[in-house]
Structures are given as structure tokens and as C-alpha cells.
Structure 1
Amino acid sequence: MDVTLRQLSVFVAVVDHEGFGTAATALNMSQSSVSHTLATLERSLSGEVVRRTTPARPTALGEVLLPHARATLAAARAFDAAATTHHDNDNTEPISLSVPPTAARGLLPSLLRQWNTHLPLLEVTPFEAVDDEIEQWLENGTVDAAILIDPQPAPPGGLHVATDRYEAVVRTDHPLAGEQTIDLADLLEDPLLVTTSGFEAPLRRLHSMAGIPFRPTRRIRELSTLLAMLEAGLGVGVLPSLAASMLPNTLTLVPLRPLLERRLVLTGPATRPWHPSVTALIAASAHRPGQGRPEA
């Protein structure tokens, strides 16, 4: 089998841009060249990888091969960047970074300021991702770096960039809104609304620590929808303290007992060599006052 990087780039672009014309524009190719290149790949694979629909979607074979194509292209980008950096120590190739929504609002702005100071030529493109998707995106090559939450085991070379804690989210007119701290059991009188986007597992652990059954009234996938429902007075919630910047004026955070914290770690992938700019990014992040602890 003779598969080229160009074929893989076309395959990924058609899937990501959901069509041949939009992929051609992104790749600066003609649409006929995109179609021909993908057809050549499919002949080599003895099977179609993309459904010719609107929008274009991967076939079953395409779904299997897509993460490998992304990882191969990411490794190739890192290879090129490492070769260039070897000859030019000031070279900084652009990289992509996946972050959870709460970190995108509550942590990323300060990190970007730090990176702009120490690496003014480095272009970092952030992608907000559901917590459960972040590690998958990192390992399949969708992004070059990520901020992971409580990674186990700790990624070698990663950097601990922040710690926050889980707190109650209530309306500002709620009886508990003015308390300095409350017990998790104090929330039992209200419906508990939970987002399934990465927070259900830690909330189960928090309830276990408090000796309270975990019985959410309603599960909501999107964090923005959860906040809207809390704002409407439909219940109470529990979110990390970094979510404070996302809250409307009608909602507030109240510290909880027992204390449950989460660690946020900036890292590259565990299954392939890092892009050189990721290494530079982590080195620059270590300059943040009070932050920056290398992982073992």
C-alpha cells in the first residue's frame, strides 16, 4: 500500500470541511484535484472512506482510518517543525490547543498573555472541547497540545498550570447565596442539575465523599444550557470555580464542603513525539508566578 501525506490531508480536509469544494479552498487545490486524490487513496485502500453526500461524511472504513490519518499528519508536522528548529532556534511553528470550556474562559486568557510575552512569534489556535473529548483530540492528532483535567497517570513533561475546586452554583437570590461555605447536603432541598460534559464523574466522587447518594434531577449535555436553566431558577448545580467568568450576574458560586479540587495540566500527546512549539509553550508557561510545576 502506497499512501501519501497529500492523500491523507485531502481525506481529513474533506471530512472536516464536509465537502470537496470547501476542502479544495482550504487546501488551495482545485476541486477536481481533491476528488482525484481521494479516489486514488480509496483505490489503494480497496474501499471508500468518504460518502459523496451533502454534507460529506466518512464511511465506516473512513471512521476507522480517520484518527490514524490525523495522527500521521500531526507527526509529519512535528517532524517538519523539528527539522526546521534544528537549523533555526528562533523558529516557532503554529500549533493548535484544545481546552475545556471553563479553562477557555477562566484560565486561557492569562496563559495567552504569558505566551505572547515570552513567545511573541508563536501562533496558538485554541479549540474549545467537551472535557471528555480533549484527550481523544490530542492523541488522534486533531490538536498538538491540550489542557487536561486530572490526567492519570500524569503525562511526562506536562505542566501543572492551575488548580480549582468544585463549588455550588445558585441564583443570587437563593437563601444560600450569601454563605461563606456550605455543605453539599444543603443543596438537597433543590433539584440538582448536572452537565454530562465531563463533570458527572467528579460529582459522583464528591457525593461519595459526603456520604450522600448521587441523584441528579436532570442531566444536560451543554454547559450553556445548564447555566440558562440555573438562571431560570429550575435548580442548583455544581461547577469548577474557573466557571465564575461564565456566570451571568444572576448566578453565583458558593464554596462547598467537602473540598474537591481538580488539576489542570498543559501537555502534548502521550503516544507520539511532541511538536517542538509545544515544548516551547510549556517552557514559557513555567514563568507564570505561583504556577508551573512539571509532571514527573
Structure 2
Amino acid sequence: MTVNLPQLRAFLAVVDAGGFSAAAAELGMSQSAVSHAVASLERGLTGPLLVRSSPVRTTALGEQVLPHARIAVSAARSVERIAAEAAGALTGTVRLAATPTVCQGLVPGLLRHWREDQPRITVRLFEGDSSEVSTWLEDGTADAAVLIDPPPGPGIQLATDSYQALLPRDHPLAGEPRVDIRDLEDDPFLISPNGCEVRVRTIHRLAGLRFAPTHRVRDLATLISMVQAGIGVTVLSEVSRSLIPPDLVLLPLEPRTSRRLVLTGPRDRPWHPAVRTLAESAVGHLAGAAPGGHPAPSTRSARAKVS
């Protein structure tokens, strides 16, 4: 039995992309070539790894093989990175993972900057919730991630992201310079049950309020649309500001609380040398840029601790 890296890469791409066609696009290969590579791997392992459904699912054997395939491909990439670093070639592809609000509000400006500042480095974006982002960074699916309030360690704090009240422009408090959450107690409250919920609960606790959301909405666009429709109010982070339509307002909130957005690599293995380059490049860019890429004080404190 012979197992090779192209087969493992094809298998992982199909699992991560959810299908053969999407995996082919990710790998820059034909769909038939991806199918052939996975089929060859299955023949070598004498069993099916995937259920050919939509989306594709792993079999019991596939589930057993998956973590080992990730380790093998990650190890091969590490060898390639060491060689690239020794040659001083800052090239390659970096897989960056982040949560939806960070992807939509902060990352576009960074991608634009990196494309101009580091044109030989390709950044591929993976969007997921907080737990998915951490898992992808840990298991090698991602080379880097923007983590929310991570424990101390190497990385760059991209922003201190404060929490804001999102209100319709015709709301009685929309013209105030800031809003106390106690003044919103009678408004139906909407929440997106993701990593932010813990901090929104904290805001309610600090204000002495019971946390009792009227609606739970997973999708950020749906949440914003519901506020537009007058169904209720919510709390979002400052990084979401570029996504807010003109008929809504995002106002500073009392009690004040914030989160740290940190660009970092894996904790338990060497960083891709291109990740360090991107991190250092981000420091200068964010010295005078806001989450949406416009000048603002919220990110002037961006600081590096890359090691």
C-alpha cells in the first residue's frame, strides 16, 4: 500500500470544501484529477473514505484517517516552509481563519493592504465561528487566525473592539452620544448566539439586568435586517460598523466592554514564515486604520509580539 501527499491533499480538500468540484477549484486541478487521487487513496486503504453526497461526508474509515492526513500534510508544509525560509523566499499561500464579523469588517482592509505590500503571498480566507477558528488553527487547517481574547502569547493585537448599541435611526435614543443598556430594557432584544453572547451577557450583568433575548439569530445579515425592520435592538462590536446601513446607528454603549482581536499563528508548531511577514506588515497598516480600513483611533494601539 502506497499513500502519497497529493492523495492526502485531495482528500482533505474535498472534506474541507464539501465536494469534488469545489476542491478542484481550491487546488487548481480538474475535478477528474481530484476524483482520481481520492479513488487511488481509497484503493490503497481498501475502503471508502467519503460518502458521495451533497455535501460530501466522511465514512467511519474517513473519520479515522482525517486527523492523520492533516498531520501528514501539515508536516510536509512545515518542511516546505523551512526550505522557503532558508532561501529567504517570502512566498506561498497562507490560510487565514476568522469569525464572520472580523471577516466582514476587518479582514477586507488587511487583504487589500497585503495584496499591495506582499504580492508574492496569497491569503486564503476561512470563515467560521470562534470554536471552529480555534480548531482550524490547532489542527493545521489554517496557518493563522484572528482570535478573540486569546491567552497571552505571540501575536499582534489588531484592534481593541468595543461593543456598541445598534438602533434604528428613528429610535428615541438614536440621537444620543452614547446609550446605557438599561435604557433599552423595554426594547425587544436580539442576539446572535456566537462568541459575542458571553460579552453581551457580561454587559447585562454589569448593568444589573436579566439577559432575556426575544430572538436568537445566527446570521449577522439577518440580525441587521431585523433591526432595520423595527423588530428589536441589539449589541454589535465596533468592527461591524462598515456593515451598518444608513437607516441604522451604532452608538457607544454603557457599561463599556471590549474584546481584543489578535492575529496569531499556531501555538504548538512553527509559524509559516509568510505569517510573520503578514503580521509585521499589518502593524504599520493598522497604525492609522480602523476596522474597515479608514483612519480611526481604535487601532492605533496595534502592537506586535511576534516570536
The 3 A distance-change label for structure 1 pair 11 and 112 is closer
The 3 A distance-change label for structure 1 pair 184 and 61 is farther
SS in 2 for 1:244: helix
The corresponding residue for 2:155 is 158
Using the alignment, how far apart are the partners of 1:223 and 1:75 within structure 2? 36
Using the alignment, how far apart are the partners of 2:34 and 2:112 within structure 1? 40
Using the alignment, how far apart are the partners of 1:104 and 1:55 within structure 2? 23
Shift of 1:203: 1.0
SS in 1 for 2:284: coil
The corresponding residue for 1:110 is 109
Deviations 1:202-245 (A, max 9, x none): 11122122221111111111111111111111000001011111
SS in 1 for 2:135: helix
The corresponding residue for 2:43 is 40
The corresponding residue for 1:119 is 118
The corresponding residue for 1:131 is 130
Structure 2 gaps, min length 5: 288-299
Shift of 1:93: 1.3
SS in 2 for 1:200: helix
Q: Is the 8 A contact 1:71 1:142 kept in 2?
A: no
Shift of 1:194: 0.2
The corresponding residue for 1:294 is 305
SS in 2 for 1:94: strand
Q: TM-score if structure 2 supplies the norm length?
A: 0.84
Q: How does 1:266-285 map to 2 (within 5 A)?
A: 266-285=263-282
RMSD: 2.5
The corresponding residue for 1:259 is 256
Q: Is the 8 A contact 2:6 2:37 kept in 1?
A: no
Structure 1 gaps, min length 5: none
The 3 A distance-change label for structure 1 pair 72 and 239 is farther
Identity of aligned residues (%): 43
Residue identity in the other structure for 2:42: A
Q: Is the 8 A contact 2:217 2:223 kept in 1?
A: yes
Residue identity in the other structure for 1:58: T
Give yes or no for the alignment of 1:174 onto 2:175.
no
Deviations 1:178-207 (A, max 9, x none): 111121111111111000132211111221
The corresponding residue for 1:246 is 243
